[in-house]
Amino acid sequence: MAHIVTDNCKLCRFTECVEICPVECFHADSEQLYIDPDVCVDCSACIPACPVNAIYEVIDMPDDKTPWIAINVERSRALPVISEKQDPLPTAEEHRAKLGF
Ligand code: F3S
């Protein structure tokens, strides 16, 4: 089962996940990251690395997050790989607090 980035990444984009990923499965636009399920090796290292719990293994996803499976497939294939950590978005800390983390 692949791993999926969900909406908690939006307005945050901490990119801690990229740094810990042993393969290059993360792709990015200016808002958030997405995982290519064909490249993800299901190691789960990214799950605890994300400060806002944005990443789920598909089998553990809440029902309201399941649309993100198709979004990750579609967006990861349309966007470039991100393989190095970048600065979080300027809104990251404020949004993290709003999310309760
Ligand atoms: Fe997004 Fe969390 Fe990675 S905020 S960029 S999924 S560390």
Per-residue pLDDT tens for 15-70?
999 999 999 999 999 999 999 999 999 999 999 999 999 999 999 999 999 999 99
Ligand 1 proximity of 4 Cβ (cutoff 6 Å):
no
Half-sphere exposure of 66 (CA within 13 A, CB side): 5
Ligand 1: centre distance to CA 52 (Å): 7
Domains of the chain by start residue, with CATH: 3-82 (3.30.70.20)
Q: d(Cα 53, Cα 13) in Å, to the nearest integer?
A: 12
Ligand 1 proximity of 28 Cβ (cutoff 6 Å):
no
- Asked whether the beta carbons of 21 and 30 are under 8 A apart, the reply is no
**Per-residue model confidence (pLDDT) at position 1:** 64
- Asked whether the beta carbons of 65 and 6 are under 8 A apart, the reply is yes
Ligand 1 proximity of 14 Cβ (cutoff 6 Å):
yes
